[in-house]
Amino acid sequence: MSKPIQNRTRATRARLIESAQGIIAAKGYGALRVEDVVQTAGVAKGTFFAHFAGKDGLMELMIGAQINAFLDEAETWPAPQTIDDLVSQIVPLIQFMTSERYVFDVILRHSGAAAREEIGPIAQTFTRQVDVVARWLSDSPFRKDISGYLLAEGIQAFSVQAMALHFCAINNSETMEDRLRIYLDAWLNPRLAS
């Protein structure tokens, strides 16, 4: 599965992924059905499950790839010097993550949670995001009393919070972006010690 031995295997897997990408592009992540994927790919249902760890496994790959694309770009950006800049640099990613309720659910379900031993694709991107943001922070004018790594973890926690509230009916008076700005200002620029 991780190391296809036959060419046939790689070809089948590629067809399945291509098929899935087509369906997602056309109808969105939440509308993807395994039966549709295998039908478009021209294989039997069982083949799908021989290639991926279920529908969720495929989703991890697809969504994880998308998040990594965002992080690839984020990595090239300069260290943000203001909260506003930081928020602007995070927003594209969290906008993708909240583009569909289903996508956010999948991400949450796998964010800190490798199924078994090895860490899954989405959990990897969360680790990577902390690294990317920590690197930014090493060259940013925010609080220095704790490590950039810890700061980055906090940013992630607040991002998740902002995204979760975004889907809450009662909390739509502020935009996700505004809410995140408030959180991160409080987190990165504390005015006074206790």
Residues at the interface with DNA (CB under 7 A): 4-9, 11-12, 32-35, 42-47, 49-51, 54-56
Distances (CA, A) of 6 to 9, 11, 97: 5, 9, 35
For DNA, give the closer residue by CB, 38 or 74: 38
Query: What is the spatial distance between Cα 156 and Cα 111, in angstroms, rounded to a whole number?
Result: 11
CB of 22 to DNA, least distance (A): 16
Cα angle at 18 between 8 and 32, to 5 degrees? 120
Distance of CA 12 to the CA centre of its chain: 26
35 contacts which partner out of a second copy, DNA, none, CB within 5 to 8 A by kind? DNA
98 contacts: CB under 8 Å, gap ≥ 6: 104, 163, 166, 167, 176
CB of 113 to a second copy, least distance (A): 4
For DNA, give the closer residue by CB, 36 or 177: 36
CB of 105 to DNA, least distance (A): 13
Contact 184, 82 (CB under 8 A): no
CB of 32 to DNA, least distance (A): 7
State the residues that interact with a second copy by CB under 8 A.
101, 105, 108-109, 111-114, 116-119, 123, 127, 141-146, 150, 153-154, 156-158, 160-161, 163-171, 182-183, 186-194
DSSP-derived secondary structure letter, 80: P
99 contacts which partner out of a second copy, DNA, none, CB within 5 to 8 A by kind? none
